[in-house]
A = this chain, B = another copy of it.
Amino acid sequence: MASPHSSSAPPPPADLEALQKRIAALAPDLPKRLRQCAEWVLAHPDRVAVSTVAQLAAGAEAPPSAFVRFCQALGYAGFSDFQTVYREGYLWPDYGVRLEKLRARGDRSAPGLLAAFVEAGRDSLETLAKTLDPADLEAAAALLARARMIHVMGLRRAGPVAGYLAYVFEKMEIPAMNHDLAGRLERRAALRPGDAALAISFAPYSEETVAFAEAAAARGLPVVALTDTLASPLHPHIRRALLVKEADVGAFRPLTATLSLASALAVAVGMKREEALSE
């Protein structure tokens, strides 16, 4: 039966998955310092296995004693017991060997495909870093940062890129509009003086995006293009071109490098706007 005192204290989780759930469940009810520990631990699970209490506590901006109390609140005797769960949960299958295996299984299996995509992605990123002209990027960011509103367009394969940019711009509270043709609406009237346009298109270039760039240019807006070749039909209409070349896996071309460039562009625009505001 239960021991004379303490009917409570459910046994502490023994595997990482359960432990993380428990932490997440418990966090809201914890006092401030302990909650900081909980949140930091959830955000940096990789560090727990290889750090000392002092280091983790410092990360969570709490004293080590608070961290130990946090472990005890979860039902463990102390930090060491708690850490053990993370250590066992993080015994990684070893790593170079793993990629080798993925590759060895050949292109037909799903994991083999993943290996191919991972490798293609890394190549694309390397190429991007090597070939992109920093001056172009800088100039494109400056140009968009000055705009009252940024009009983004990208269809088909470029669609997700446009969607991602719209999302990031909104997150940063930068006025932006994604011309995604939902409901077949072209919304050209939204293109106003003082705005800027960002057209994303890859071969085979979709007519609508080219027409969009042309319309924006005709209204005097500066147009930045994110595209794959200098021969792109967007060319006559644009102020700056950012070129990305993606490595392909068979007939498929993931958007790895393109999205990294898009991210950098968006954040750069955000920073430039902040600077401008604080001046």
**Contacting residue for A95 out of B93, B118, B130, B272, CB 8 A:** B130
How many copies of this kind of chain does the complex include?
A: 2
Chain B residues with CB under 8 Å of A115's CB are 129
Across the interface, A157 reaches (CB within 8 A) one of B93, B167, B275, namely: B167
Specify which of B46, B95, B259 is in contact with A255 (CB 8 Å cutoff): B259
**Closest CB in chain B relative to A189 CB, distance in Å:** 21
Which residues of B sit under 8 angstroms from A252, Cβ to Cβ?
Answer: 168, 263, 266-267
Query: With the chains together, A268 CA to B92 CA distance in Å?
Result: 24
The segment out of A2-10, A65-73, A134-142, A211-219 that lies at the interface is A134-142
Question: Which B residues lie within 8 Å of A111 (CB)?
Answer: 132, 134, 137-138
Question: Which residues of B have CB within 8 Å of A120?
Answer: 260
Given known A-B contacts A20-B229, A259-B255, A267 and B130 have beta carbons under 8 A apart = no
Of B17, B102, B130, which contacts A98 at CB under 8 A? B130
Q: Which positions 144-185 of chain A face chain B at CB distance < 8 Å?
A: 156-157, 159-161, 163-164, 167-168, 182
Complex CA–CA separation, A126 to B118 (angstroms): 8
The answer to whether A113 and B46 touch (CB under 8 A), given A231-B20, A231-B24, A259-B254, is no
Within 8 A of B (CB), among A224-257: 229-231, 249-250, 252, 254-257
Q: Is the CB of A265 within 8 A of B94?
A: no
Bound CA span A126–B122, Å: 9
